[in-house]
Structure 1
Amino acid sequence: MASPHVNAPRIAEGSPPELVVYDREQPCPYLPERVSRLPLRLPSRPLTGAELDQRLACGDRRQGFVLYRPRCPSCIACEPIRIPAREYVLSRREARILRRGDEKLTIVSGPPRVDRRRVEIYNLHKQGRNLRDGQPPIDAEGYRDFLVATCCDTFEFAFYYEKLLVGVSVIDRSDRAVSAVYTCYDPAYSTFSIGTYSILKQLELCRNEGLDYLYLGLYIEACSKMAYKSAFLPHERRIDGVWRRFEARKD
């Protein structure tokens, strides 16, 4: 019997209207023996900051031009997670990472772009952290479609060590928040904890600009690759349609 969810374009409700360009059940990329459903929605025009805020608050994520939100048939393990930026206090470990990064790395902020080194870093990161899941290396076109194409206000943090690009973070900006889309780095420079450092610099940006939240994407408790997200406390997770708070550690 055919799946009830097919790859058939249709219009989703909302402002601006969105075209559902893909909607099919498939094996879950995070949990074995689970089935996922991630309808991909293409906005009819670029989103304003307020419109992006509304979608982030509902648990949306962005990939290229499209938005998605889990609609899995028998699983609710994915929990959108965000950090209240104004309240966040660094742990001692985070303070050390921030201090070392500020001393050794240079950040250049600008529009996301693609070049040979960025593609190389993306593939090195996937390989070094065992994130490839059988997929072939990405090429420049794939990088552009995933991390440069966008339907909202998007920028990148480019991390340099002694004039060599060693990491990239792609970030969305709304009226009240920033959303961490993707970070990749050269594993040869993992001593700088660039993934954590990037989150700390995004939190710093939120505080400097009076923004409320840093969205970290989806969190799955049973997925070890996402465990790092829950270490940032206090944070909030969207569970059963409600943002629930998880309090700060005693450090």
Structure 2
Amino acid sequence: MMRWRPRLLAADPPELLVYDEATVCPYLQGRDARMPLRVPTRMLTPQEFAERLRVGDRRQGVLLYRTSCPTCQACEPIRIDVERFVADKTQRRVYRRGLGRIDVEIGPPELTPEKVALYNRHKAERDLNADGHDIDEVGYRAFLVDTCCESFEIRYRVDGRLIGVAVVDRAEDALSAVYFYFDPDFEPLSPGVFSIMKQLELCRAWGLRYLYLGLYIRECPSMAYKARYLPHERRIAGRWRRFDRAGAAVEPPVSEET
């Protein structure tokens, strides 16, 4: 029997809490997770979405969530302050090389069989498909096309061939990287690094201060790479803390006004 019922939460705009149960952690083996899922009652403005990013929200389809695990605080929202970020030698080299080979297209999120096939291939060949089931067009649309805020996708092509797609949200002062998948044949081009560098370039061109990278989880290799982008800020115990090139937190915590 359901232990709770969907309920309306006070927010601006109000949100409907549609799921709030403990589940198996998708990132760390043997741990439980709690990520209440909420649906805004209308599309969020850029200012409203910026506030949700600031307090640690992430988006999946039309849903918003924030980790609320009772016995674990391993997940830390992470963002790059575009004004402070300095690319390292490897990141600069990857970006220069990619600019010479990769064509970039920007447009609204769209469902195509080409993208669904590439998404499934990325998951299968990189051992990311935990349940062993491919996503279908309905699932892809719900995950990567439907949205509750301003969103777009960046398509990456080499000689006309789709090699990667980044789904990105836009807030008043930031971009937020939602999901990225790519053709494993092109892994030598480091498309993930190239995509983050491209999003940082868009932030600069559009006058946006932050690029949110989702969650940093030190014990999860597929999430720990985000700490390589320095300096960066991570939300710990309700406060954004800046980490410099030595990897140590800079005191005091970042102002909550930013």
CA offset at residue 7 of structure 1?
5.5
Residue number in structure 2 paired with 1:145: 142
**Does 1:109 find its partner at 2:106?**
yes
CA offset at residue 134 of structure 1?
2.1
Residue number in structure 2 paired with 1:199: 196
Aligned pair partner of 2:21 in 4, 21, 24: 24
Q: Secondary structure at the match of 1:145?
A: helix
Residue number in structure 1 paired with 2:44: 47
Residue number in structure 2 paired with 1:95: 92
Identity percentage over the alignment? Answer: 50
CA distance in 2, matches of 1:109, 1:151: 19
CA distance in 2, matches of 1:90, 1:212: 16
CA distance in 1, matches of 2:246, 2:166: 26
CA distance in 1, matches of 2:216, 2:3: 26
CA offset at residue 194 of structure 1?
0.8
Name the TM-score, length of structure 2 as normaliser: 0.93
Give per-residue Cα distances to partners, 1:76-103, cap 9 Å, x unaligned. 1110000001121111111111011110
Gaps of 5+ in 1: none
**Does 1:229 find its partner at 2:226?**
yes
CA distance in 1, matches of 2:76, 2:5: 27
Residue number in structure 2 paired with 1:246: 243
Give per-residue Cα distances to partners, 1:91-134, cap 9 Å, x unaligned. 11111110111100001000011111101111111112211112
Give per-residue Cα distances to partners, 1:23-56, cap 9 Å, x unaligned. 1111111111111011110000000001001000
Q: Which moved more, 1:11-20 or 1:122-131?
A: 122-131
CA offset at residue 226 of structure 1?
0.9
Q: Which moved more, 1:91-100 or 1:176-185?
A: 91-100
Aligned pair partner of 2:63 in 66, 74, 84: 66
CA distance in 1, matches of 2:144, 2:3: 26
Conserved in 2, the CA contact under 8 Å of 1:8 and 1:23? no
Q: Give the aligned residue type for 1:41.
A: R
Q: Secondary structure at the match of 1:87?
A: coil
Conserved in 2, the CA contact under 8 Å of 1:108 and 1:159? yes
Aligned residues: 247
CA distance in 2, matches of 1:82, 1:43: 23
Q: Secondary structure at the match of 2:17?
A: strand
CA distance in 2, matches of 1:57, 1:78: 15
Conserved in 1, the CA contact under 8 Å of 2:108 and 2:153? yes
Q: Secondary structure at the match of 1:181?
A: strand
Conserved in 2, the CA contact under 8 Å of 1:101 and 1:197? yes
Q: Give the aligned residue type for 2:8.
A: I
Aligned pair partner of 1:33 in 21, 30, 33: 30
Conserved in 1, the CA contact under 8 Å of 2:175 and 2:212? yes
Q: Secondary structure at the match of 2:235?
A: strand
Give per-residue Cα distances to partners, 1:149-180, cap 9 Å, x unaligned. 00000000000000111100000001100000
Conserved in 2, the CA contact under 8 Å of 1:9 and 1:22? yes
Q: Give the aligned residue type for 1:172.
A: D
Name the TM-score, length of structure 1 as normaliser: 0.95
Conserved in 2, the CA contact under 8 Å of 1:18 and 1:41? yes
Conserved in 2, the CA contact under 8 Å of 1:6 and 1:23? no
Conserved in 1, the CA contact under 8 Å of 2:87 and 2:230? no
RMSD: 1.4
**Does 1:56 find its partner at 2:44?**
no
